Amino acid sequence: MSFFTCLYLLENPDSYILEIKRNDLDENAAISDKFRWLKIEKENRQINNLTFRSMDSAGDLEERFFEEGYLKFDDKIGTFIEKFNSAQHPLVRVADCEVSEIVEVAIEQYILELNQL
């Protein structure tokens, strides 16, 4: 069994932004623990947790608000806007939510490290 299920995946040449559902927690776990948004740098596979604040869905447009920035996306493209420097990162949505084995291993290692906190 995989440690997680990918729910949303967006990428650009530099990074991935994805929402995962952790499969290693029981059904009574806090929602903020069970569902996580991550930003992963492709070059070094560094994983940063995005601190979820709120969401909105209007028609085909999805919006997620994080302490670190704002993400908007539809079924094809998206944009992540960083809060502190307003940098905009255009993204492409990956419909099948498939990550490479290297990224999957990095996420599983990240989850194992969370379990040790």
Q: What is the pLDDT of residues 55-96, one digit of tens each?
A: 999 989 999 999 999 999 999 999 999 998 989 999 999 999
C-alpha–C-alpha distance, residues 67 and 81, integer Å = 11
Q: Return the number of other C-beta atoms located less than 10 Å from residue 16's C-beta.
A: 22
Average pLDDT of the residues of the chain: 94
pLDDT in tens, 11-63: 999 999 999 999 999 889 999 999 999 999 999 999 999 999 999 999 899 99
Predicted TM-score (pTM) of the model is 0.93
Cβ atoms 102, 28 nearer than 8 A: no
User: What percentage of the chain has pLDDT greater than the value 90?
Assistant: 81
Domain locations along the chain: 4-54+88-115
